[in-house]
């Protein structure tokens, strides 16, 4: 995975819950395009909602992958629900919480909440959105198809993220 949309894992209760954070910076490449100045209005940098959903997918995907010791190739199969009430702007910190709803040999379902931590008042946390996801253990569900031997989802970047967060992978 080339792009990481979470910065740190702050809590892991195996097979139950994972909490990760993302600090949003004006220096991230996508901020220049969403939305640039024009027609007399100033720039309005906002993190695209699709990247916020991907941050939750990475958070929940780690929870699902960790449940199987990262032996399964876990892929996002479905976004069951994605409701975001606010815009994420530079200076914000998002907190993703993924909770395991179901886990089986075929895959998993997670329920997620996103909260914004106020950069001016770190103890102030606002509800931001809810994102529920379904994951597939691709090797168990796509019998007869060939996939790379290595785990193409949980590569070195994720291992480094987990190790620097104090989690063995």
Catalytic residue among 34, 41, 66, 137: 34
- The residues near 150 (Cβ < 8 Å, ≥ 6 apart) are none
CA atoms of 49 and 19, how far apart (whole Å): 19
CA atoms of 80 and 83, how far apart (whole Å): 10
Tokens of 63: 């929870």
Quick check: is 34 catalytic?
yes
Which regions of 14-154 does DSSP assign to beta strands (E)? 17-23, 74-84, 93-103, 107-117, 125-137
Q: Is the dihedral of CA 110, 116, 122, 124 positive or negative?
A: negative
Q: Among all residues, which ones are annotated catalytic?
A: 34
């Amino acid at each position: 995975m080339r792009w990481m949309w979470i910065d740190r894992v702050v809590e892991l209760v195996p097979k139950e819950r994972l909490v990760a954070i993302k600090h949003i910076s004006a220096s991230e490449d996508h901020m220049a395009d969403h939305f640039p100045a024009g027609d007399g209005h100033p720039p309005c940098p906002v993190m695209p909602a699709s990247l916020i959903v991907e941050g939750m997918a990475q958070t929940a995907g780690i929870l699902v992958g960790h449940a199987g010791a990262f032996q399964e190739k876990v892929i996002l199969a479905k976004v069951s629900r994605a409701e975001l009430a606010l815009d994420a702007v530079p200076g914000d910190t998002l907190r993703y919480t993924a909770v395991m709803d179901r886990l089986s040999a075929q895959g998993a379902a997670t329920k997620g909440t996103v909260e914004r931590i106020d950069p001016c008042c770190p103890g102030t946390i606002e509800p931001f959105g809810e994102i529920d996801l379904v994951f597939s253990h691709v090797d168990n569900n796509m019998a007869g198809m060939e996939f790379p031997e290595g785990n193409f989802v949980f590569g070195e970047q994720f291992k480094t993220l987990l190790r620097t967060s104090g989690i063995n992978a």
